[in-house]
Amino acid sequence: MFEGRLPPGQRWIERLVVYDIGPVPPVDLGSFRLRLFGEVENPLELSWRDILALPKAAVTRDFHCVTTWSVKGLSWQGVAGRTIVELVRPKPAVTWVMARGRDGYSTNVPYGDLLREGSLLAYRLNGAPIPAENGYPLRLVVPSLYAWKSAKYLEGLEFLAPLRRGYWEARGYHDRGDPWREERWA
């Protein structure tokens, strides 16, 4: 069943390993805002209610970490990346999206990967709200790329024309991070 699904250099494990760059500030859903800004025609701030009112999307995909572990068949639910793009209408020059977490983390994601089938802003994992350690309340999920591109504790997406590097990319990680090409390092 899982034959041919494991990228080179990866091994299957049973559940997600938790990595954080530091303490994660608490979140109050009543005052939560997701900023969508940058090179867009329609910058927005969405409340938690606004996010939940958007069309729902679901995807079940394997999840691959750059540190060589993979988890089979995680089920994510949330809002498709394409839905967000339709709302903000990025300008033609956009080539990257900077995902920002409330813990100070950032990662640059190729714009085309945000548009791919399966990329979403997830608020549920395996049928329940995303656990705190896995990014509650909102996580960018980009299954086509290594897990560091699936920014936890999401609070902003900045649409960029020129490349700007995020937290790990500035420290030598690859700008794209395709697990099938083993794009681990720049």
Residue 169 corresponds to which amino acid? E
pTM of full prediction above 0.75: yes
Contact 175, 165 (CB under 8 A): yes
- The fold for domain 33-56+78-175 equals Sulfite Oxidase; Chain A, domain 2 (3.90.420)
Contact 79, 161 (CB under 8 A): no
Please report, for the chain, the start and end positions of each structural domain, with discontinuous segments joined by +: 33-56+78-175
Phi, psi of 163 (to 5 degrees): -70, 130
- Is omega for the bond preceding 25 within 30 degrees of 0, making it cis? no
Q: Per residue of the chain (186 residues), give pLDDT as tens.
A: 455 799 999 999 999 999 999 998 899 999 999 999 999 999 999 999 999 999 999 999 999 999 999 999 999 999 999 999 999 999 999 999 999 999 999 999 999 999 999 999 999 999 999 999 999 999 999 999 999 999 999 999 999 999 999 999 999 999 999 999 999 998
- Helix ranges, the chain (H): 48-53, 81-88, 111-115
